Amino acid sequence: MLREPERGEEAVPSHPLSRFFDGRADESEVREALIAAGITHPDRAVRGLLMLRDGPPFAHHTADNRRVLTAVAPALMEALEQAPDPDLALLHFERFIEAAGFGAAFFDLFKQAPLALVHLMRLFGSSEFLSQILILHPELLDLLLLPDLSALTQPGRLVEESRRALASAPQGSPRLDALRRFKQAEELRIGIQDLLGKAGLEEVSAELTRLAEACVQAAYGMAREELMPQVGRPCPEGFVLLGLGKCGAKEMGYGSDLDLAFAYAKEGTTQGGVRGISHAEYYGLLADRICKILTTITKEGTAYRVDVRLRPGGSAGRVAQSFAAFERHFAGTAELWEKQAYLRARPIAGDLDLAEGFMASLSSLLYQPVPPERLADEITAMRRRMEVELTKEKSGQLHVKLGSGGIADIEFVVQFLQLAHGAILPTLRGGNTLKALEAARSAGLLADSDVVDLGASYRFLRTVQNRLRVVSDRETSSLPNEASQLDRLARRLGYEAGERMRAGERLLADYRHHTERVRDIYEETFRRRRGGDLDGQHGDT
Contacts with 522 (C-beta within 8 Å, 6 or more apart), sequence order? 405, 409, 410, 412, 413
Lowest-confidence region among 35-39, 107-111, 123-127: 107-111
Confidence band, pLDDT 50/70/90 cuts, at residue 245? very high
DSSP state of 147: S
Instruction: Say if residues 262 and 308 touch (Cβ distance below 8 Å).
Output: yes
pLDDT, one tens digit per residue, over 56-108 is 765 666 777 788 888 889 999 999 999 999 999 999 999 998 888 766 667 77
Half-sphere exposure of 31 (CA within 13 A, CB side): 9
Lowest-confidence region among 97-101, 105-109, 129-133, 496-500: 105-109
Confidence band, pLDDT 50/70/90 cuts, at residue 52? confident
Rounded mean pLDDT, 129-148: 86
How much is the pLDDT for 261? 98
Q: How far is CA 70 from CA 15, 19, 89, 104, 141, in A?
A: 9, 7, 19, 11, 22
CA distance 370 to 220: 38
Q: Output the CA torsion sign for 49, 52, 57, 62.
A: negative
CA distance 95 to 492: 21
* CATH 1.20.120.330 corresponds to the domain 372-530: yes
The count of other CB atoms within 10 Å of the CB of residue 241 is 24
CA distance 319 to 340: 20
CA distance 371 to 116: 58
How much is the pLDDT for 51? 85
Cα dihedral angle (163, 166, 171, 177), rounded to 10 degrees? Answer: -140
Does 155 have pLDDT greater than 90?
Answer: no
Confidence band, pLDDT 50/70/90 cuts, at residue 272? very high
Does 345 have pLDDT greater than 90?
Answer: yes
pLDDT, one tens digit per residue, over 278-291 is 999 999 999 999 99
**347 backbone dihedrals φ, ψ, rounded to 5°:** -65, 130
pLDDT, one tens digit per residue, over 363-374 is 999 999 999 999
pLDDT, one tens digit per residue, over 449-473 is 999 999 999 999 999 999 999 998 8
Confidence band, pLDDT 50/70/90 cuts, at residue 259? very high
Q: How far is CA 158 from CA 151, 187, 402, in A?
A: 12, 12, 32
pLDDT, one tens digit per residue, over 383-408 is 999 999 887 777 778 999 999 999 99
How much is the pLDDT for 59? 61
CA distance 199 to 190: 8
**531 backbone dihedrals φ, ψ, rounded to 5°:** -85, 5
Cα dihedral angle (368, 374, 375, 377), rounded to 10 degrees? Answer: -170
CATH of 199-366, one of 3.40.50.1100, 3.40.190.10, 3.30.460.10, 3.90.400.10: 3.30.460.10
CA distance 432 to 352: 19
In the chain, the percentage of residues whose pLDDT exceeds 70 is 92
The SS3 call for residue 240 is strand
pLDDT, one tens digit per residue, over 174-222 is 999 999 999 999 999 999 999 999 899 999 999 999 999 999 999 999 9
Confidence band, pLDDT 50/70/90 cuts, at residue 536? very low
Instruction: Say if residues 385 and 377 touch (Cβ distance below 8 Å).
Output: no
pLDDT, one tens digit per residue, over 307-338 is 999 999 998 999 999 999 999 999 999 999 99
State the average pLDDT for the chain.
90
CA distance 122 to 196: 8
Q: What is the DSSP string of 245-287?
A: HHHHTT---TT--EEEEEEES---EEESSSS--BHHHHHHHHH
Every domain of the chain and the residues it spans = 16-125, 199-366, 372-530
Rounded mean pLDDT, 413-440: 97
CA distance 500 to 185: 41
Same fold, 16-125 and 199-366: no
pTM: 0.92
Q: What class is the 16-125 domain?
A: mainly alpha
Does 5 have pLDDT greater than 60?
Answer: no
Confidence band, pLDDT 50/70/90 cuts, at residue 148? low
Contacts with 293 (C-beta within 8 Å, 6 or more apart), sequence order? 176, 179, 219, 222, 223, 303
CA distance 303 to 294: 5
